[in-house]
Amino acid sequence: MPAAVYVGDGDIQVQHLPVPTLGPNDALVEVSHCGICGTDLHLVLERFARPGSVLGHEWAGTITALGADVTGWETGARVVLDPTPGCGECRACRRGRPAVCLRREPPDLLDFSRGAFCRYKLVPASRLVRVPEMLSTRAAALTEPTAIAIHTVNLAHVGTDDRVLVTGGGPVGLLTTSVLRSRGVHEIVVSEPAPARRERALAVGAAAVVTPDELPRAPMGRPVESPFTVVFECSGHGSAAESALDQLDYAGTFVFVGTGSPPPRVNHNRVIVMEQKIIGAYNYDAAGFRPALDLLASGALPLDLLIEPVDIGLDQILSTMHRLAAGELPGKVMVTPEVSA
């Protein structure tokens, strides 16, 4: 089968790999679409990935074969893969946070070796979730990042009276904005340097957009003139985070969503005096991917704005990653397991 393989030195090549062998409890899924994630960008462009690995974790597909012991599924079923459930016993699980279960396998970012930038994926059938009839398989590939956006908004306990700043208008910032809008939050400002992304942020429902240099520096120990009660830092840039922290109000909540380096400097004095909360959001809610599938199927999200109109083949992943890193493409780019050249 064709697969986009990371070969080292920031390069990806299409290779032909054997189709994985089915075990008794497995399902073989033909990947329909797989989105390119910011994590994939870091892994390839910053060369963290292990050579030989196949990236891509935001996918949906169709079952083509089932192991002998699998029940409750049939070939042709459209599916996504639910996150691993927690152990149910550790401190994180007891606090309703199975996505950071203390006994989970470490998130070995260096070895995302069995990703979905390829035609077939072997998965444990017990973790499959059916794609609702109302939802296309292509749009279902947005399930994983949508689950993250839902989790992010839930962790911040955003209410309809909050005034929200989203820094970074790429796929994550746009999804976060859309989920906020679906919750009835209206006062959302998106800060983003790239014009195409600012434009798209308005289209998905931001009340206003600004460029990062329009955000004021904060006076010492006091809020800026128009502060925000909740800030989602989706860009992953340390400097954006520092500026975003300046915009946070008394008792405000700041959420780190985007990863990146170098890290920001945090003025702890300001956080103390203004009694602010700084949290991170990485994974999913206890309910896994089902709330995301329901939200995507509900029609409440502007899917045609969140997903770029043109899908790409496996051989176009690298060039598209460079375009994404440059901020040229606002929405999620979907990869199909084809070779166009």
Distant-in-sequence, close-in-space partners of 339: CB < 8 Å, separation ≥ 6: 2, 14, 313, 314, 315
Query: Which regions of 67-103 does DSSP assign to beta strands (E)?
Result: 78-81
Q: CA-to-CA distance for 321 and 341, rounded, in angstroms?
A: 17
State the minimum distance, in angstroms, from the CB of residue 93 to Zn ion: 3
State the minimum distance, in angstroms, from the CB of residue 145 to Zn ion: 6
For the chain, the C-alpha Rg in angstroms (whole number) is: 20
Q: Given the complex with Zn ion, which of 129 and 189 has the nearer CB atom? A: 129
Q: CA-to-CA distance for 162 and 183, rounded, in angstroms?
A: 11
Distant-in-sequence, close-in-space partners of 154: CB < 8 Å, separation ≥ 6: 285
State the minimum distance, in angstroms, from the CB of residue 268 to Zn ion: 30
Q: Given the complex with Zn ion, which of 19 and 87 has the nearer CB atom? A: 87
User: Which string of x and - marks every residue 44-83 that binds Zn ion (by CB under 5 A)?
Assistant: ----------------------------------------
Q: Given the complex with Zn ion, which of 63 and 93 has the nearer CB atom? A: 93
Q: Given the complex with Zn ion, which of 89 and 214 has the nearer CB atom? A: 89
Q: Given the complex with Zn ion, which of 93 and 204 has the nearer CB atom? A: 93
β-partners of residue 334 are: 35
State yes or no: residue 86 binds Zn ion (CB under 5 A). yes
**Tokens 């462009």 found at:** 45
Binders of Zn ion among residues 12 to 51 (CB under 5 A) are: 37, 39
Q: Given the complex with Zn ion, which of 228 and 284 has the nearer CB atom? A: 284
State the minimum distance, in angstroms, from the CB of residue 194 to Zn ion: 20
State the minimum distance, in angstroms, from the CB of residue 286 to Zn ion: 11
User: Which string of x and - marks every residue 87-126 that binds Zn ion (by CB under 5 A)?
Assistant: x--x--x-------x-------------------------
Is the bond preceding 262 in cis, omega lying within 30 degrees of 0? yes
Q: CA-to-CA distance for 257 and 278, rounded, in angstroms?
A: 11
β-partners of residue 336 are: none
State the minimum distance, in angstroms, from the CB of residue 166 to Zn ion: 17
Q: CA-to-CA distance for 45 and 41, rounded, in angstroms?
A: 6
Total site size for Zn ion, rule CB under 5 A = 7
State yes or no: residue 330 binds Zn ion (CB under 5 A). no
Measured at the CA of 238, the angle between CA 281 and CA 251, to 5 degrees, comes to 55
User: Quick one: how far is CA 21 from the chain centroid?
Assistant: 29
State the minimum distance, in angstroms, from the CB of residue 87 to Zn ion: 3
State yes or no: residue 300 binds Zn ion (CB under 5 A). no
CA distances from 8 to 23, 43, 145, 187 (A): 30, 10, 26, 44
Q: CA-to-CA distance for 230 and 254, rounded, in angstroms?
A: 6
List of residues contacting Zn ion (CB under 5 A): 37, 39, 86-87, 90, 93, 101
